[in-house]
Structure 1
Amino acid sequence: RTIWGDHQRYKDTYFSAFPGKYFTGDGALRDEVGYYRITGRVDDVVIVSGHNLGTAPIEDAINEHPAVAESAIVGFPHDIKGNALYGFVILKETGEVRDRTNLTKEINQYISDHIGPIAKLDKIQFVSGLPKTRSGKIMRRILRKIAEGDFSNFGDTSTLLNPEIVEEIMKERV
């Protein structure tokens, strides 16, 4: 394998972080039994007020809330902070009606307790699903554009498993 016309770039990108080992760019945790859990891209970082914040740890904190099934975090431009955090959150289907204002406060408190106040979300949108590829990867570039209020040109969406969710998320944008 290589990058067409630039083999050195291929080597520098994938074999320099850990000499002799291939670096995929994915983070993982290994538990006491030896199982691995993929935690997300290590290069998915948002700079908020000069702090480099990884989206995976923030999503992990949110997902620990008992009402949350899944979440995705993206950055969006902010006049003062440079970037702010926008969370797309799927709630567990319990049949229980939750007050969204209190739930937003609770989720931000979870983030503050696990990571720190700097990682609190500026906006939280409760959604019924996330745009994913057929292989299950969240299409964050679409979420990023929606968070920015740009609903044009989402690029290639041919691998999108659930295209209807994009329209739903756009309509409910906070």
Structure 2
Amino acid sequence: FFGVKPVVLDAQTGVALDGDGVEGVLCIADSWPGQMRTVWGDHERFMETYFQQYPGYYFTGDGCRRDADGYYWITGRVDDVINVSGHRMGTAEVESALVAHEKVAEAAVVGYPHPLKGQGIYAYVTLMNGVEPSDGLRAELEKWVRTEIGPIAKPDLIQWAPGLPKTRSGKIMRRILRKIAEDDFAALGDISTLADPGVVDDLIENRMNRH
């Protein structure tokens, strides 16, 4: 029959989880009427975003729990949750702690591959006007986050950012930030829709995670 066929997959292995009372990532097993077929002008990005991570499935980007009665519960966006040494935390929590500091104007946090922790915390920080970046301030912000949230939330890398890649509507393009944090910026996709595409060049040039 036509319709959406939801599947809960193990986030690490991509294996479909059978039965009820399971939690993982939400994917769609079959095509359905009304399914989008591409992203205008960037089909490669479309395939990478929705089909590459879990081959054979459409990846929604959401975490999901199927309860004991077989109902599906969306637990949140997977790309906004990072797993640091087995601890799951929302990037918004770390961002909120950073912008609570009097010298920080804006912050964006993403995860990146870490050899020991699985994922590390990479923070892009825009400072208030007149505030000069320094190693001392970087250490101060690390200590600040430790105090606000706990040691596990301390950023591993803090990059000073004169600006963040945003669309004209003000949405931060986290996909670009993740690529730069992973030192994998060869295929950033179309950045012409950004309000200031030049910001990306500065972030790449001053990236902290160089291989």
What is the 5 A alignment of 1:129-148?
129-148=163-182
Q: TM-score, normalised by structure 2?
A: 0.62
> Per-residue CA shift, 1:124-170, capped at 9, x if unaligned?
00010000111111111101110111121112334221111000110
Partner SS, residue 166 of structure 1: helix
Partner SS, residue 108 of structure 2: strand
Q: Aligned residue for 1:160? A: 194
Q: Aligned residue for 1:150? A: 184
Of the candidates 54, 78, 84, which is equivalent to residue 114 of structure 2?
Answer: 78
Tell me whether 152-161 or 102-111 shows the greater mean CA deviation: 152-161
Q: Counterpart amino acid of 1:67?
A: K
Q: Counterpart amino acid of 1:79?
A: P
Partner SS, residue 77 of structure 1: strand
Of the candidates 112, 117, 128, which is equivalent to residue 162 of structure 2?
Answer: 128
> Per-residue CA shift, 1:80-111, capped at 9, x if unaligned?
10010110000000x2435x111111111111
Any gaps of 5 or more consecutive residues in structure 2? 7-27, 29-59, 66-73
Equivalent pairs: percent with the same residue?
50
Partner SS, residue 159 of structure 1: coil
Contact 2:103–2:131 (Cα < 8 Å) also in 1: no
Of the candidates 3, 8, 31, which is equivalent to residue 6 of structure 1?
Answer: 3
Of the candidates 48, 58, 83, which is equivalent to residue 84 of structure 2?
Answer: 48
Any gaps of 5 or more consecutive residues in structure 1? 18-22, 26-40
Of the candidates 97, 118, 121, which is equivalent to residue 132 of structure 2?
Answer: 97
The number of residue pairs the alignment matches comes to 147
Looking at both structures, which has the greater relative contact order when contacts are Cα pairs under 8 Å and sequence separation is at least 6? 1
Q: Aligned residue for 1:113? A: 147
The change in CA–CA distance for 1:166 and 1:6 in structure 2 (over 3 A counts) is farther
The change in CA–CA distance for 1:96 and 1:121 in structure 2 (over 3 A counts) is closer
Partner SS, residue 159 of structure 2: strand
Alignment partners' CA distance in 2, 1:115 and 1:167: 32
Q: TM-score, normalised by structure 1?
A: 0.75
Of the candidates 88, 91, 99, which is equivalent to residue 124 of structure 2?
Answer: 88
1:49 Cα offset (Å)? 0.3
Q: Counterpart amino acid of 1:132?
A: K
Partner SS, residue 58 of structure 1: helix
Q: Let me know the Cα RMSD of the aligned residues.
A: 2.7
